Copies of this chain bind each other. A is one copy, B any other.
Amino acid sequence: MGTSTERRRGYAAGDARRERILHIATQEFAEHGYRGTSLARVAERAGLSQPGLLHHFRTKEQLLVAVLELRDRRDMERYFDGDGASGGLDLLAALVRVVEHNSRTPELVRLFVVLTSEAVTADHPARDWARARYARLRTWVAHALRRAAAAGDLRPDLDADATAARIIAIMDGLQTQWLLDPAAIDMPALFRAHIDDLLASLRAHHEA
């Protein structure tokens, strides 16, 4: 699936130069945000001149878009191909694993936190991306919750949309606190506790 996307754009999947630029740009956007990132610095780290960089990505905005697309694609591979379209209750366990993985890759977490919040400012190029990403996430989680309810694993009267929004909210909120003060926040444990509480209150009471 990633491959077809790349073919459509007319460059080989294994374009090392391009991948290297994207890798470095990802780090720079994470460290300094979109506005704080300088193309000259990305270029220098990638071992080419700034106009050389603009040969591959015609504007800074296009570079950002390419970074976001790459990350979305990688995440899809990781969480969809891996678990399949993980159904029902398995999703919650998968989310716990996502958070555990995130706690070992702070730079990727920073990328999302920084760009998502920058996106709420006026005329930001990542605005549509952020909005669409949240809508997609909410739909995805809500869908899994409904399937779990239909399968009899969760109470049939649960509010799937509200629960999904809350789960995503707590993931995001914990990330910010954790990035600012990692020693004070045990992100995976706190998220796991939330999921446990959720299950305790939403689990269908077969035996009760």
Residues of A within 8 A of B (CB): 30-33, 35-36, 110, 113-114, 116-122, 127, 130-131, 134-135, 138, 159, 162, 165-166, 168-174, 176-177, 179-181, 184-185, 189-190, 193-194, 197, 200-201
Contact = CB atoms under 8 A, between A and B. Distances in A.
B169 A174 contact: yes
Task: Give the number of times this chain occurs in the complex, counting copies.
Answer: 2
Sorted nearest first, the 4 A-B pairs with minimum C-beta distance are A169-B173, A117-B117, A173-B173, A172-B173
19 contacts: A31-B121, A32-B121, A32-B122, A113-B117, A114-B117, A114-B118, A114-B120, A117-B117, A119-B180, A135-B181, A138-B177, A165-B174, A165-B190, A168-B177, A169-B173, A169-B177, A169-B190, A170-B173, A197-B197
Nearest to A173: B169
A105 B185 CA distance: 29
Contacts of A131: 180-181
A196 to B, nearest CB: 10
A138 B173 CA distance: 13
B130 A120 contact: no
B190 A134 contact: no
Contacts of A116: 117, 176, 180
